[in-house]
Amino acid sequence: MKNILVPIDFSDQAEYAAKVASKIARLTNSKIYLLHMLELPTGVIDPTSYGTSNNSPTSLLFLKRAHEKFEEFKKSDFLEGLDVEDSVQFHKAFDGIIDESKKRDIDLIVMGSKGSSGLEEMLVGSNTEKVVRNSEVPVLVVKEDIEDFKIQNIVFASNFKYEYRVAFQKILDFATLFDAKLHLLKINTIHNFETTKESSDAIRNFINDFDLGDYSLNIYNDVSVEAGILNFSKVIDADIILLNTHGRRGLAHLFNGSIGEDLANHSKLPVATFKI
């Protein structure tokens, strides 16, 4: 991992994301790119004339204030000693984040959200959900302020369909970065029940030929997939939940057809998605 992108709107949640990104950057010797998108009303600025004398005084004022905020933000203790670059762009947030991730050859996008009371608004049909759905690189969503962020126990929840193996190496590479234990998790529900042998065989077939390092294989029964992932994560004191996404309809179709937005909406843990 070399480059981490953190979209910044100067909210508390964006700061939480930047803190987590700074921890990851220190562990991986990565560069952090801070990105602020200025979505100004039509007529205030013509994006095609950005950087020319045609920009209105109003747009230039917004630009100046954003740079001033960045200068103050970069003085944060958690960024001290890191390689940090900031950018202010006149662009719609979602498009700008995706474009910047390609331009900077980003390895990980870290985004903040409002947590259980506001994540549904953030994720469903808005910028974070769109980034999760469309990003070719992993997206880590952070909900709360984590003072001592560390990754020792990772939950990777999946239905372990064989055709999803294509993205599994990315999961393993992420776990290796932090020398963390990977807990492979298959949730059984009354509506989608498998015997222990069937689930075990599916997981073992899925991980065959991969070098997993420290891992555990887990089959957990619960009333729903979402509840099972959350409850299991509490039992093992997980630091992060990893999921695959098809990139079709975002968090509503992470795996097994529909895991639902409730998982990320109710999880206090960071949730990272890896596109299949």
Q: DSSP letter string over 200-257? A: HHHHHHHHTT----SEEEEEEE-SSHHHHHHHHHHHTT-SEEEEEE-SSSGGGGSSSS
Asked if 270 contacts 143 with a C-beta cutoff of 8 angstroms, the reply is yes
- For residue 188, the tally of other CB atoms under 10 A from its CB is 18
pLDDT of residue 147: 84
Are 188 and 267 contained in the same domain?
yes
Residue 214 confidence (pLDDT): 94
Q: Each residue of 165-180: pLDDT tens digit?
A: 888 999 999 999 999 9
* Full strand arrangement of the beta sheet holding 108-112: 84-90, 31-38, 3-7, 108-112, 139-142, 271-275, 240-245, 153-157, 181-188, 215-221
Q: What total of structural domains would you count in the chain?
A: 2
Note whether residue 47 is domain-resident: yes
Q: Do 218 and 172 have their domain in common?
A: yes
- Residue partners of 193: CB distance under 8 A and separation at least 6: none
What are the tens digits of pLDDT across the range 130-142? Answer: 788 788 999 998 9
Residue 220 lies in a domain: yes
**In terms of domains, do 163 and 119 share one?**
no
In a domain, 195, yes or no: yes
**Measured distance CA(69)–CA(248) in Å, rounded:** 36
Both 130 and 193 in a single domain? Answer: no
Last residue of some domain: 88, 116, 142? 142
Residue 233 lies in a domain: yes
- Cβ pair 70, 84 in contact under 8 A: no
Do the beta carbons of residue 111 and residue 131 sit within 8 Å? yes
Does some domain include residue 147? Answer: no
pLDDT of 126: 61
- Residues 65 and 104 placed together within one structural domain of the fold: yes
- pLDDT score for 37: 84
Q: Is 136 in the same domain as 157?
A: no
CA distance 36 to 90: 9
Residue 129: what pLDDT?
Answer: 72
Q: Which domain holds residue 73?
A: 3-142
Tokens of 217: 């294989």
Q: Are residues 15 and 134 in the same domain?
A: yes
For position 55, what pLDDT does the model report?
Answer: 54
Please check whether residues 181 and 254 belong to one and the same domain: yes
Strands (E), the chain: 3-7, 31-38, 84-90, 108-112, 139-142, 153-157, 181-188, 215-221, 240-245, 271-275
Please report the pLDDT score of residue 56 as a whole number.
60
Q: Based on the domain organization, do 125 and 175 belong to the same domain? A: no
Domain assignment present for residue 198? The answer is: yes
Last residue of a domain, one of 122, 142, 162: 142
List residues bridging with 85 in a β-sheet: 33
Say yes or no: 128 and 158 in one domain. no
pLDDT of residue 96: 87
The label of the residue with tokens 């409850």 reads 231
Cα angle for residues 64, 66, 68 (degrees, 5° grid): 70
21 and 54 fall within a common domain:
yes
In a domain, 39, yes or no: yes
* Residue 148 within any structural domain of the chain: no
| Boundary (domain end) residue, out of 116, 142, 168 | 142
Q: Residue 208, Cα to own-chain centre: how many angstroms?
A: 27
Same-domain pairing of 105 and 170: no
Stretches in the chain below the pLDDT threshold 50: 42, 44-54, 116-125, 250-252, 255-258, 260-261
* CATH code for the domain in which residue 54 is found: 3.40.50.620
pLDDT of res. 205: 95
- For the chain, what's the residue count? 276
